[in-house]
A and B are shown apart, each in its own frame.
Chain A
Amino acid sequence: MASLKGRLSRLRDLGLVKASMLGDSDKPAGGLADGLADGPAGLPASGLKTEPATGLTDRPAFLKGWDALAPHVWTRVVETPLRAPGTVRPSTWLHLPDDPELRSPEAFSFFDFETTGLSGGAGTLPFLAAIGAFAGSGFFVTQVLIDDYPGETTFLEYLLAELGGRKAVVTYNGSSFDMPLLRSRCIMNGIPSAEPIHLDALHPARRLWKRSLSSCSLKVIESEILGLDRGEDIPGSAIPRVWLDFASGRGEGEMGLVCSHNASDITTLARLFLRIDRIFAEPLNESALYRVDAPRLGLALAAADRIPEATALLEPLAADGDPRSGFALCRIYRRQGMYDERRRVAMAMPDIPEACVLKAKICEHSLRDYPAALEWTEKALAGLSRRNGGGNDPGADSATVMHASGALSEYRACTHESLESRSSRLKRKIALKGA
């Protein structure tokens, strides 16, 4: 069967295996492996790597300060400069019961995986995990690393024990990546997994900053919102290759950076958690509101039944003519049944098409003043045509708003078709009333 290998590898050398594979980014970094296969010693490649899996004999430099937990499994604890706050109140911004235990910062694990790929399929292996926790006045990050596949079971068992020791686990994008991956790996290793309460900080972060940031990646939040500078770092996309090379005996490469990247991510996550908590604790304290999307914050407060704070936040902004704050405020008042307040805010809004629609709605449904409603509808239509025609009217920036992340449904719902049908309905109603 030597012919198979011969034929296939010759084809691959020619780069001709599959047209779809040409230009493949994960082409095997074949140089070294080829060298081993065809080397003068004539050893088959596999012969070099089949020694029993008992861990690294020569400890790589980056593992200085790590403890060997079991064969192939390493761990260390990193002390960080982050100080613990007195209490936290995540129940004010997450759908959590107001459990007194959850007010202690020590109730939370902050968790993140580094993996061999981003697809999340069954072949994706997490090889490094960081679990941060407040203890006493400090914040400590425990890291667990495997240097080869056979360490995975111990690695997972250790993580589960560590996470199980605290009430809740906080991640960034963990609901679609880290947690399902943890579940999958446990299934594949035959380990039963019980999961603590999980909080994904990505969702509140998106709500607060999506509109003002190009992306809500942890990296961008770290530098743009938290104002941190990490110093030397490695891009996330380069991480899988570093470990795969390291584990296959090609040297430690940038493994040191990978580990510090992982630890820094956790510290940043904890800082972000505290920042969000502070924003919700003192929503009217401007110092915490840096680049926060106030209408979204207001709506979130209202959803948590904190109406006075929500309106106190939004009223001055709406009064300054910010339409999004106006819309948010109107929604809150409507839900509270405060129709007079709603009308007052709506009618004072600038005449961009979306606001004209709101005014038309109020005229039609609460005031039953159809001619006025029709007038607002026509005004909205005219404004929309001007905007689409690319005119230089002040409403044009609303189109930007519409495309900007964090647009409210008021913008999406304002279309030519919906306005046309509103207009014809109003005309019918007017005709009916007249008759």
Chain B
Amino acid sequence: MNPKGAIDFTESFLEWLQGQGELAWVERIPAREAVSVPLPDDLSLPLRDALASRGITSLYSHQAEAYALARDKKHFVVVTPTASGKTLCYNLPVVMSLLEDPTARALYLFPTKALSQDQQAELNEIALGGALPIKVHTYDGDTPGSLRVAARDSGRIVISNPDMLHSGILPNHPKWIRFFSALKYVVVDEMHAYRGVFGSHVANVIRRLRRIAAFYGSYPTFIFCSATIGNPAGLAAALLGEPTSLVDRNGAASGAKVLAFFNPPLVDAVQGIRRSSSTESQRVALELLKRGVKTILFARSRLQVELIASYMTKNLENPWNENNRIRVSPYRSGLLPSERRKIEKELREGSLRGVVSTNALELGIDIGGLDAAVVSGYPGSFASFWQQAGRAGRRGSVSLAILVGNSSPLDQYLAKHPEYFLSQKPETARIDPDNAYIFTDHVKCAAFELPFADGETFGPSGDEGRAALTGEALDLLEEEGIVRHSGGRWFWSAEGYPSEKISLRSATADNVVIVDTTGGKKRVVGEMDRPSAKELIFDNAVYIHLGTQYMVKKLDIDRRTCEVEPKTVEYWTDAVVKTDIKILSEDSRGEVGKAATWVLGDVLVRSQAEKYKKLSYHTHENVGYGDIDLPAEEMQTRAVVVLFPEGSGAGALLPKADPASSAALLSGAGRLLAKLAPAFLMCDPRDLGIAERVRDPHFGCPALYLYDMYPGGTGLAEGIADRLSEVFSAAGERLSSCGCAHGCPSCIGADLEPGSSDGVKTQVSALLAALSGAFR
């Protein structure tokens, strides 16, 4: 589509949309020209040829900037919007340096396996396309033993992930002597994924990596790549432990973009209920597809994705014209790698016109450019939304991103306040590599890898606090008999293999394999992480995989298998999950601004699917129930609980006779806490769980729970307990400086007005003032 035609098309489509419901707002973002520069002078001929064979004869300015920095051995981070030629920013200087020095090696780290597969495909293309003698090997949990030796000994570029580096490569570094001795570059792609507790772990894995590399005399240059976040240079510096250069002037062209908020028609004007965003987004996507537009639809869950895709396929069904050759496929985690590769390829080549996806396609998987993105309901974070919207957009064309709202107060707030929506700054990514728990865990792993010398600081040296922390950690490990001091060094003195027991991520990667057992044969259909399996593929559940329906015969959690058989039924299943928190121990108590009490202790967070609903296709009517007989998913962790007993300063502010109002106040305060606590703890919002109880069964009074999302806890609850009044005081400031009238998503939420809880914002303000110790 040429730009002119595309503009006409977008405008005519918006007109159509206008007639379908309520076009709440439209924002037009103009196109941007590319800033191109010639290829660098020192680029060798074979590499020039390899680039030329892919049609590349010049670079975008940011690629050239990255090339110069990398060749100059400067650590840097490059911020790359979708489709800006990110991989060339590191592939070019790395491949060039590897060609110059035939012994040199490079390590590429990706947060997920799928991305590293993608990367290997692309690199192989560069290397083979120009017949460049660079061997690229993937080294992760899926690499068979027979290929591991080859990866270690002859992989010039080794592609891996932080988890494998942590538990497989670093603890066995003597086997990697040739690799570490010649390590010149480390590429950390998708850096924005490394935030919060996970990021703090990864920063410590990087410390260990640099420590081992230094042992072999290598001081590699680090190249970070990140999607847009608030503080790319800050996060890179925190991960690396020293300042890095920043490349953020994007020289790639981008097409014009039209952003629209579509509000589905009202079904019940009195209660403000609208047609469901998933039905409406299907309609919008179908209309786009029928008008010949390549479209991606983002839905919230794996089940939604399968359902929407199969409804759309059904709608397009026409045996006379092969559905006009329009095909729609679901895309989500849990598909087999080969299935995912196939869908990605068909999207790139254009044989697949439509895809319905979870946020799995947010990450940098190459699917080429699409013309339109339809997002079903606000995805929960602005970064997520922009990543999803960014999937639509091709050079020299106009693309369309449509957010289809749902009835929730949050979506409705965004419908009414485009200025709020569009002015949101990218989220800041925080990490705390010196978090005592995480730090100690990695000192432990590092001591296994190489004895610590007296006076050695783990991580960047020259910081007294960190030097002291290293000493503290080693003393502690010695007390536990894990290391022993002898002859001026600290030696690992236990039998185990420490990294095996330290997981970098909150959810472990133990997947349930879904097997089709039709006719006594066993065919692997897909896989699913264990906690989700309990909610989605319980016995008698309907499991939909790429549009095929299966009935679950037996979910065996212990053996991590789920037996299914294809079966067509007229319903799908949805588990009803109950979550509760149980106090296991109360370890310490304190006061919050003399107005409430905090309790620190161990809690058990249980979520259990006990029943499921059978929901009819299309109408989504409830057509039956069933029981689920599975053990609860349990996580033992640390929590801090704020108690509001009757008679306390803060308790008095909660209207006892009006539980709904009390709940609204607690939830408003809880949301602010959830927003501000991560800044105090240098963690990610996802690392913390928040729950409020109007009447807590354990404490017998209103309570607000803040708990650590990592099993066992990573010190977050401890870290916040005696600073609660500070946090509440900051929350009060945030609330009073918020320009909204009755609450908005930036403060206490948008769903607390109006109705019975009139003036909730003022009341939450008063509550926060009391909690921060400021008496009125």
What does the 1/0 interface line of A10-33 toward B look like (CB < 8 Å)?
A: 111010111111001110111001
- A154 to nearest B CB, angstroms? 12
Task: List residues of B (464-486) whose CB comes within 8 Å of A's CBs.
Answer: 465, 468-469, 472-473, 475-476, 478-482, 484-486
Q: How far is the CA of A167 from the CA of B602 in the complex (A)?
A: 62
B496-A26 in contact (CB<8A):
yes
Q: How far is the CA of A53 from the CA of B494 in the complex (A)?
A: 20
B497-A244 in contact (CB<8A):
no
Question: Residue of A at shortest CB range from B492?
Answer: A123
A18-B501 in contact (CB<8A):
yes
**Interface residue? A87 (CB, 8 A):** no
Select the residue from A8, A12, A34, A118 with max chain B CB neighbours within 10 A: A8
B479 CB contacts on chain A under 8 angstroms: 5, 9, 28, 30, 33-34, 37, 45
- B603 to nearest A CB, angstroms? 11
Q: How far is the CA of A125 from the CA of B636 in the complex (A)?
A: 35
A33-B450 in contact (CB<8A):
no
B486 CB contacts on chain A under 8 angstroms: 49, 53, 148-150
B495-A26 in contact (CB<8A):
yes
Q: How far is the CA of A240 from the CA of B481 in the complex (A)?
A: 13
- Interface size of B by CB at 8 A reads 54
Known: A49-B484, A241-B495. A183 touches B174 (CB 8 A): yes
Known: A20-B501, A149-B487. A244 touches B495 (CB 8 A): yes
Which of A8, A10, A20, A240 sits near B495, CB closer than 8 Å? A240
Question: Residue of A at shortest CB range from B637?
Answer: A19
Q: How far is the CA of A16 from the CA of B492 in the complex (A)?
A: 23
What does the 1/0 interface line of B433-448 toward A look like (CB < 8 Å)?
A: 0001100100000011
What does the 1/0 interface line of B583-616 toward A look like (CB < 8 Å)?
A: 0010100000000000000100000000000000
B501-A24 in contact (CB<8A):
yes
Known: A8-B437, A122-B172, A150-B486. A117 touches B496 (CB 8 A): yes
B491-A149 in contact (CB<8A):
yes
B480 CB contacts on chain A under 8 angstroms: 12, 28, 30, 33
A33 CB contacts on chain B under 8 angstroms: 478-481
- Interface size of A by CB at 8 A reads 57
Question: Residue of A at shortest CB range from B508?
Answer: A20
Known: A5-B472, A247-B484. A19 touches B636 (CB 8 A): yes
Question: Residue of B at shortest CB range from A187?
Answer: B174
Known: A117-B497, A248-B493. A16 touches B478 (CB 8 A): no
Q: How far is the CA of A172 from the CA of B502 in the complex (A)?
A: 32
A123 CB contacts on chain B under 8 angstroms: 171, 447-449, 492, 494, 497-498
A244-B476 in contact (CB<8A):
no
Q: How far is the CA of A49 from the CA of B487 in the complex (A)?
A: 10
B437 CB contacts on chain A under 8 angstroms: 8
Q: How far is the CA of A428 from the CA of B476 in the complex (A)?
A: 76
A19-B635 in contact (CB<8A):
yes
Known: A21-B501, A24-B501. A122 touches B436 (CB 8 A): no
Select the residue from B177, B437, B497 with max chain A CB neighbours within 10 A: B497
**Interface residue? A59 (CB, 8 A):** no
Question: Residue of B at shortest CB range from A151?
Answer: B487
Q: How far is the CA of A18 from the CA of B479 in the complex (A)?
A: 18
**Interface residue? B74 (CB, 8 A):** no
A148 CB contacts on chain B under 8 angstroms: 486-487
A244 CB contacts on chain B under 8 angstroms: 481, 493-495
What does the 1/0 interface line of A325-357 toward B look like (CB < 8 Å)?
A: 000000000000000000000000000000000
Known: A8-B437, A244-B495. A46 touches B177 (CB 8 A): no
A18 CB contacts on chain B under 8 angstroms: 501-502, 711-712
What does the 1/0 interface line of B485-524 toward A look like (CB < 8 Å)?
A: 1110101111111100111000010000000000000000
B171-A122 in contact (CB<8A):
yes
Task: List residues of A (125-165) whose CB comes within 8 Å of B's CBs.
Answer: 125, 148-150
**Interface residue? B368 (CB, 8 A):** no
Task: List residues of B (163-192) whose CB comes within 8 Å of A's CBs.
Answer: 171-175, 177
- A354 to nearest B CB, angstroms? 22
A4-B472 in contact (CB<8A):
yes
**Interface residue? A50 (CB, 8 A):** yes
B481-A188 in contact (CB<8A):
no
A248-B484 in contact (CB<8A):
yes
Q: How far is the CA of A9 from the CA of B475 in the complex (A)?
A: 11
B172 CB contacts on chain A under 8 angstroms: 120-122
Q: How far is the CA of A50 from the CA of B581 in the complex (A)?
A: 47
Q: How far is the CA of A29 from the CA of B715 in the complex (A)?
A: 24
**Interface residue? A267 (CB, 8 A):** no
Question: Residue of A at shortest CB range from B715?
Answer: A7
What does the 1/0 interface line of A160-191 toward B look like (CB < 8 Å)?
A: 00000000000000000000100111011000
B476 CB contacts on chain A under 8 angstroms: 4-5, 8-9
**Interface residue? B713 (CB, 8 A):** yes
- A111 to nearest B CB, angstroms? 19
A121-B497 in contact (CB<8A):
yes
**Interface residue? A311 (CB, 8 A):** no
**Interface residue? B529 (CB, 8 A):** no
B485-A19 in contact (CB<8A):
no
B602 CB contacts on chain A under 8 angstroms: 14, 16
Q: How far is the CA of A150 from the CA of B469 in the complex (A)?
A: 25
Which of A149, A184, A185 sits near B175, CB closer than 8 Å? A184
**Interface residue? B451 (CB, 8 A):** yes
Q: How far is the CA of A16 from the CA of B585 in the complex (A)?
A: 11
B469-A122 in contact (CB<8A):
no
Q: How far is the CA of A4 from the CA of B715 in the complex (A)?
A: 10
- A67 to nearest B CB, angstroms? 21
**Interface residue? A1 (CB, 8 A):** yes
**Interface residue? A119 (CB, 8 A):** yes
18 of the cross-chain contacts (CB-CB < 8 Å) are A7-B436, A7-B715, A11-B713, A18-B501, A18-B711, A20-B503, A26-B496, A28-B482, A28-B494, A45-B475, A46-B485, A117-B494, A117-B495, A121-B171, A121-B172, A122-B172, A123-B492, A148-B487
Interfacial residues, chain B to chain A (CB-CB below 8 A) = 171-175, 177, 436-437, 440, 447-451, 465, 468-469, 472-473, 475-476, 478-482, 484-487, 489, 491-498, 501-503, 508, 585, 587, 602, 635-636, 638, 711-713, 715, 718
- Give me the 7 closest cross-chain CB pairs, A-B, nearest first: A123-B448, A184-B174, A150-B487, A123-B492, A18-B712, A28-B480, A53-B487
Interfacial residues, chain A to chain B (CB-CB below 8 A) = 1-5, 7-12, 14, 16-21, 24-26, 28-30, 33-34, 37, 44-46, 49-50, 52-53, 116-123, 125, 148-150, 180, 183-185, 187-188, 240-241, 244, 247-248
Supplied contacts A4-B472, A11-B713, A19-B711, 10 more A-B pairs, CB within 8 Å: A4-B440, A8-B437, A8-B440, A9-B479, A10-B587, A16-B636, A20-B503, A24-B496, A117-B496, A123-B171
